[in-house]
Amino acid sequence: MRKLLAIVICLMLILCACARQAQPMEEDAEDSLIVVGFSQVGAESEWRVANTESIRSTLTEGNGYVLIYDDARQKQENQIRAIRTFIQQGVDYILFSPKVETGWISVLQEAREANIPVIVLDRYIESEVENLYTAYIGSDFHKEGEMAISWLEEFLQREGRIGDSLRIVHIQGTMGSTAQIGRTAALEQSIEKHPSWELVAQECGDFTRAKAYEVMGSILEQTTDIDIVYCENDGEALGAIAAMEEAGLSCNAKDGVIVISFDATRLGLQYCLGGKIALNVECNPLQGPYVNEIIKKIQLREPFSRMNYIDETLFDSFTITQEMIDERQY
Ligand code: AHR
């Protein structure tokens, strides 16, 4: 009996020792996770939802991360507050998608003082703060606009309409955001270059379908003599098309209003296949893998590039197929 008791006590001691050893190992595993505080601008578009999902599905525990996510609901002050909270929490990295380009200097100085690397995602920030962030990952929005204009010029050339008087409506994205600034600049530069192109209305649609529907409705009360509608994202294009169709206009590159859009979401491309959006320039939201690559390089002290522009393409209503849409991830 005494022998049995001794064996049981021995076994219990061994189990306790094992349990004590297991604890530090778990703590070690947690310590080795990289903590990223991510301030997302909001959920204004399908593009944005896909962008958030790409970050969330990449910066997972399985990939070595703890992600602290904050949705700023389109308010810059919420983003600044979130970044300050990340600094207090002592995160390893701050990732943020700035609503607009200006107003970040103080908070980024605070991040630098706390030695926290900042990765700017999607939209850019004013150039004076270049030394206040570690890397940028996103789109070249001005190039996207230039791609749209080159396509339009080639299309009009083919149709024999390049010198015609063309009346353009412009629905802009969130004012002051890099996406708006770049895409707007490309259109305005092309209007300066073509004296027969006239900008008949320029309104902000805030990157949403509802706002674009509303502003397009008001524009149509002033005039229905419109040749081109240049919308700065798919949500806006869908809203503008709905308003135009209600007003009896047909959206069709060959014999109706030429609608140009950006993002190339599945829904936007479906409209392109149906001929209602003539051109859709891709803006790629799948940025999570790029963020992971940069952070892993920084961790390993490997060289990395500071400015990272994502390759993008375009789709037009004449060449798009259902197979192309089915292959898309967003
Ligand atoms: O900054 C990227 C832009 O923001 C996308 O074009 C738009 O859909 C989004 O809301």
pLDDT of residue 127: 72
User: Ligand 1 centre and the CA of 276: distance in Å?
Assistant: 20
* Ligand 1, pocket residues at CB < 6 Å: 44-45, 47-48, 122-123, 179, 207, 233, 262-263, 283
Q: What is the CATH number of the domain that holds 91?
A: 3.40.50.2300
pLDDT of residue 45: 97
User: Ligand 1 centre and the CA of 47: distance in Å?
Assistant: 6
Residues 172 and 319 in one domain: yes
Q: Which of 120, 122, 284 best tests ligand 1's pocket when mutated (most atoms within 8 Å of CB)?
A: 122
User: Ligand 1 centre and the CA of 33: distance in Å?
Assistant: 30
Q: Give 234's Cβ-side CA count (13 Å radius).
A: 21
- Listing DSSP states for 128-197 in one string gives GGGGG-SEEEE--HHHHHHHHHHHHHHHHHHHT-TTS-EEEEEEE-STTSHHHHHHHHHHHHHHHH-TTE
To the question of pTM greater than 0.85 for the whole model, the response is yes
Question: For residue 124, which amino acid is it?
Answer: Y
Q: Which of 120, 233, 265 best tests ligand 1's pocket when mutated (most atoms within 8 Å of CB)?
A: 233
Residues 270 and 243 in one domain: yes
Residues 271 and 178 in one domain: yes
Of ligand 1's listed atoms, the one at least distance from the Cα of 262 is 6
Residues 68 and 154 in one domain: no
Q: How many domains does the chain have?
A: 2
Please check whether residue 203 lies inside any domain of the structure: yes
Cβ–Cβ < 8 Å for 250, 276? no
User: Ligand 1 centre and the CA of 159: distance in Å?
Assistant: 31
pLDDT of residue 261: 98
Please check whether residue 320 lies inside any domain of the structure: yes
User: Ligand 1 centre and the CA of 178: distance in Å?
Assistant: 9
Please check whether residue 195 lies inside any domain of the structure: yes
pLDDT of residue 250: 98
Cβ–Cβ < 8 Å for 330, 96? no
Residues 167 and 267 in one domain: yes
Please check whether residue 41 lies inside any domain of the structure: yes
Question: For residue 22, which amino acid is it?
Answer: A
The number of residues in the chain equals 330
Of ligand 1's listed atoms, the one at least distance from the Cα of 179 is 1
Distances (CA, A) of 134 to 15, 67, 115, 137, 313: 47, 18, 11, 10, 27
pLDDT of residue 131: 84
Cα–Cα distance for residue pair 292/36, rounded to 1 Å? 11
Please check whether residue 152 lies inside any domain of the structure: yes
Nearest alpha carbon, ligand 1 atom 10:
45
Between CA 198 and CA 204, with CA 203 as vertex, the angle to 5 degrees is 140
273 by Cβ neighbours in 10 Å (0-12 / 13-18 / 19+) ranks as: middle
Buried b (16+ CB within 10 A) or exposed e, 282-294: bbbbbbbebbbeb
Its domain, for residue 50, covers 33-138+285-299
User: Ligand 1 centre and the CA of 183: distance in Å?
Assistant: 11
User: Ligand 1 centre and the CA of 94: distance in Å?
Assistant: 20
pLDDT of residue 28: 62
Cβ–Cβ < 8 Å for 93, 116? yes
Question: For residue 104, which amino acid is it?
Answer: W
Low-confidence stretches of the chain (pLDDT beneath 50): 1, 4-6, 8-22
Nearest alpha carbon, ligand 1 atom 3:
179
Please check whether residue 310 lies inside any domain of the structure: no
Residues 185 and 252 in one domain: yes
User: Ligand 1 centre and the CA of 125: distance in Å?
Assistant: 15
Please check whether residue 3 lies inside any domain of the structure: no
- 3-state class (DSSP) for residue 38: strand
120 by Cβ neighbours in 10 Å (0-12 / 13-18 / 19+) ranks as: buried
Please check whether residue 1 lies inside any domain of the structure: no
Residues 146 and 74 in one domain: no
Distances (CA, A) of 191 to 167, 217, 237: 10, 23, 20
Residues 65 and 122 in one domain: yes
Buried b (16+ CB within 10 A) or exposed e, 212-249: bbbbbbebbeeeeebbbbbbbbbbbbbbbbbbbeeeeb
Residues 223 and 276 in one domain: yes
pLDDT of residue 3: 52
206 sits in the region (left: phi over 0; alpha: psi -120 to 50; else beta) called left
Of ligand 1's listed atoms, the one at least distance from the Cα of 283 is 6
Cα 251 to its chain centre, rounded Å, is: 27
pLDDT of residue 105: 94
Residues 230 and 154 in one domain: yes
Residues 46 and 114 in one domain: yes
Residues 132 and 145 in one domain: no
